[in-house]
């Protein structure tokens, strides 16, 4: 059984394990107040070209999302997002549990447009009864999205511009940020993201770390007392240096980007093979999540040997499923999957 279900099936890159072992018996202050976290902060600031960034290390994505949203919004304010957004569908109501409405907008591909944001803003403020509605104050985007798609520089600039114009915060969930930045269609980089967003995070869990997300606060509004809220939400790791050390290893020499590039390359290899076999994808992307529409008969045969995840039925005979590669995926495993898919497609009368 080879798992392509997700991008967190394995542990961490060996450099991280080695460095954790080397520093294991050092005594450091707790709660991210140690020299390793500070070194990681300096690295991230430099990569983002933002000396004024306030950087916090959290353990996972859901925690990161509800912590920043809780810190940023007043009780009556809501967050706009795509209907497929992680905060809307896969966090067990975590944002609402912090008191805030998640206002989901429909999208075909997981990406919000500047126009949608503007329309949502107008729908609120043009209504006489807006004081009886939750007030939009933050826009949440994921990059790449939950469907593997990415924002272009132009699209992100447009989103940022409308957010500024409408006095909305722009927050980017970067759980898979590396995979986006290394994808073939990418024209973004960290300094650009840092200049266009009010906050974003660099996801470690899904790209080489044991766990950990580096939250980068750019807007001063978020900085005051953030650590109180971090503590309140369970986000201050006692042995905080575990997070610092991991991000140092990932970022000091570009390992983070190498790992992502590896995963993207294998994902594209799979995608192209599928397309060549006549299979289709609803979301063409060069990132590590490949959504492929496959005849059910083939999936039936495939599922005994490979793990993948289910997205939706397309019709009575086809289903779209997701294959994830990661920093840890072996090229031989992808080749074997391609071979088996090829064989199954050839055996199948019509796909």
Report 266-285 residues binding a copy of itself (CB under 8 A). Answer: none
User: Taking CB under 8 A as the rule, does residue 25 contact a copy of itself?
Assistant: yes
Nearer to a copy of itself, 200 or 327 (CB): 327
Answer for which of 50, 233, 271, 318 binds a copy of itself (CB under 8 A) is 233
Nearer to a copy of itself, 44 or 209 (CB): 209
> Stretches 128-136, 154-162, 190-198, 297-305: which one binds a copy of itself (CB under 8 A)?
128-136
Closest distance between a copy of itself and the C-beta of residue 267, in Å?
17
| Alpha helices for 92-145 (secondary structure H) | 94-97, 114-125
Nearer to a copy of itself, 192 or 320 (CB): 320
* Beta strands across the sheet bearing 289-295: 289-295, 318-324, 309-313
What SS3 class is residue 187? coil
Task: Report the residue count for the chain.
Answer: 351
User: Taking CB under 8 A as the rule, does residue 237 contact a copy of itself?
Assistant: yes
Burial 34-46 (b: 16+ CB within 10 A, else e): bebbebbbebbbe
User: Taking CB under 8 A as the rule, does residue 60 contact a copy of itself?
Assistant: yes
Report 176-205 residues binding a copy of itself (CB under 8 A). Answer: 205
# binding residues, a copy of itself (CB under 8 A)? 77
**Contact string (CB under 8 A) for a copy of itself, positions 88-117, x = contact:** -xxxxxx-xxxxxxx---------------
Closest distance between a copy of itself and the C-beta of residue 192, in Å?
28
Closest distance between a copy of itself and the C-beta of residue 122, in Å?
12
Q: Are 40 and 23 in contact (CB under 8 A)?
A: no
User: Taking CB under 8 A as the rule, does residue 129 contact a copy of itself?
Assistant: yes
Answer for which of 51, 167, 238, 349 binds a copy of itself (CB under 8 A) is 238
User: Taking CB under 8 A as the rule, does residue 299 contact a copy of itself?
Assistant: no
DSSP 208-277: TSSS-EEEEE-SGGGTTTHHHHHHHTT---TTTHHHHHHHHHHHSSSHHHHHHHHHHHHHHHHHHHHHHT
């Amino acid at each position: 059984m080879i798992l392509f279900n997700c991008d967190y099936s394995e542990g961490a890159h060996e450099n991280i394990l080695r460095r954790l072992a080397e520093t294991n018996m050092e005594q450091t202050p707790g709660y991210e107040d140690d020299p390793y976290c500070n070194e990681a902060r300096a690295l991230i600031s430099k990569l983002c070209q933002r000396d004024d960034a306030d950087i916090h290390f959290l353990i996972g994505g859901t925690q990161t999302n509800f912590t920043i949203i809780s810190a940023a919004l007043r009780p009556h304010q809501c967050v706009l997002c795509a209907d497929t957004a992680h905060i809307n569908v896969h966090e067990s109501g975590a944002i609402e549990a912090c008191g805030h409405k998640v206002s989901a907008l429909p999208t075909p591909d997981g990406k919000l447009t500047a126009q949608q944001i503007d329309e949502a803003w107008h729908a609120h403020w043009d209504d006489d009864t807006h004081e009886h509605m939750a007030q939009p104050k933050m826009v949440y985007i994921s990059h790449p999205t939950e469907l593997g798609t990415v924002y272009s520089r132009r699209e992100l600039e447009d989103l940022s511009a409308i957010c500024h114009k409408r006095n909305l915060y722009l927050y980017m969930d970067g759980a898979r940020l590396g995979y986006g930045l290394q994808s073939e269609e990418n024209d973004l980089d960290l300094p650009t993201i840092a200049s266009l967003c009010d906050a974003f995070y660099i996801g470690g869990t899904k790209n080489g770390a044991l766990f950990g997300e580096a939250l980068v606060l750019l807007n001063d509004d978020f900085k005051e007392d953030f650590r109180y809220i971090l503590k309140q939400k369970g986000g201050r790791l006692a042995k905080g240096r575990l997070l610092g050390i991991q991000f140092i290893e990932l970022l000091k020499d570009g390992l983070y980007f190498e790992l992502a590039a590896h995963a993207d390359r294998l994902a594209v290899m799979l995608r192209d093979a599928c397309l060549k076999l006549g299979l289709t994808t609803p979301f063409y992307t060069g990132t590590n999540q490949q959504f492929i529409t496959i005849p059910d008969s083939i999936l039936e045969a495939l599922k005994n040997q490979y793990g993948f995840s289910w997205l939706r039925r397309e019709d009575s005979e086809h289903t779209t499923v997701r294959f994830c590669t990661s920093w840890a995926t072996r090229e031989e495993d992808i080749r074997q999957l391609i071979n088996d898919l090829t064989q199954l497609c050839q055996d199948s009368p019509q796909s």
